[in-house]
Structure 1
Amino acid sequence: MRVAVPRETGAGERRVALVPDSVGRLVASGFAVAVEEGAGLEAGFPDAEY
């Protein structure tokens, strides 16, 4: 199964669909996860953490 994490586009939106820890758990469970560049920046998660 594939999961995508898009970058939020709403004005003032600071949330992200999945945090890096959750992405790691999904990948360990066999999911394919794609994270859009910059998806977690407003929530304090740089791309390198994903």
Structure 2
Amino acid sequence: MLEELAKMQEDREIILLHLQEALTLVDRMEALLCHQTTPAQAGAH
């Protein structure tokens, strides 16, 4: 039982790390897109 919980905790931490990386990438992509769009397009969000 404890081993299963430890494994679940490890999996959870790995998933959280991947989520953080994905969110960071999304933030960077959004920032790049914002710099490329015109003010009119940016206001459409």
TM range, smaller chain: under 0.3
Larger fraction in helix: 2
TM (norm. structure 1) is 0.24
Larger fraction in strand: 1
Q: Radius of gyration: which is bigger?
A: 2
Structure with more contact order per residue of length (Cα contacts < 8 Å, sep ≥ 6):
1
